[in-house]
Structure 1
Amino acid sequence: MKAVNPLLIILLVLLVVSGLGLIVFILLHSGKGTGVSDMIASSVYSSQSGTSIVEKNLDRITIVLAIIFMLSLIALMLIYPQGTINS
């Protein structure tokens, strides 16, 4: 039985959590067009006060998650080149 490398576990957890977070936070952004999401958003958010702050925070969280995702992916690629992780 082989010991599991803790660095591999940490990088994989970061990759999966940031990937799922990106999916969720990208879907939380409001639509910019005239589609169904715009109609729903206009009925839910009838007042425009505070929506710009929410959008800025969503943008910041999405950017941070994207940076974490890319850094963990690059670290996995550099530390464990193709074929070096044995199951």
Structure 2
Amino acid sequence: MNPLLIILIALLVISGLGLIIFILLHSGKGTGISDMIASSVYSSQTGTSIVEKNLDRITIIFAVVFLLSLIALMIVYPSGTIATR
């Protein structure tokens, strides 16, 4: 296998798993995992917003890496050009 293919697929898998994990960490109406973590770490309401902002930033980074690696795979290896021997 081509090293470029291995790197792009690894980026795609890692960023996809990161997206799944960080999307699940987001709270929905105050009952998510991030609220439980934030309430134990920070006692004020400002701490929760900081945690949510950081979760948003990390999720956006993972989404951008996922999309860029997917587009790179589509450009470098169009449909049917990856030969497995």
TM-score (norm 2): 0.82
Gapped runs of 5+ residues in structure 2? none
Aligned residues: 78
CA RMSD in angstroms, aligned pairs only: 1.9
Matched with 2:48 is 51
TM-score (norm 1): 0.80
The separation in 2 between residues aligned to 1:86 and 1:58, in whole angstroms, is: 39
Gapped runs of 5+ residues in structure 1? none
Structure with higher Rg: it is 1
After superposing on structure 2, the runs of 4+ consecutive aligned residues of structure 1 that deviate more than 6 Å are none
Larger helix fraction of residues: 2
Amino acid at match of 2:48: T
Percent sequence identity over aligned pairs: 72
Higher relative contact order (CA 8 A, sep 6+): 1
Matched with 1:27 is 24
Amino acid at match of 2:29: K
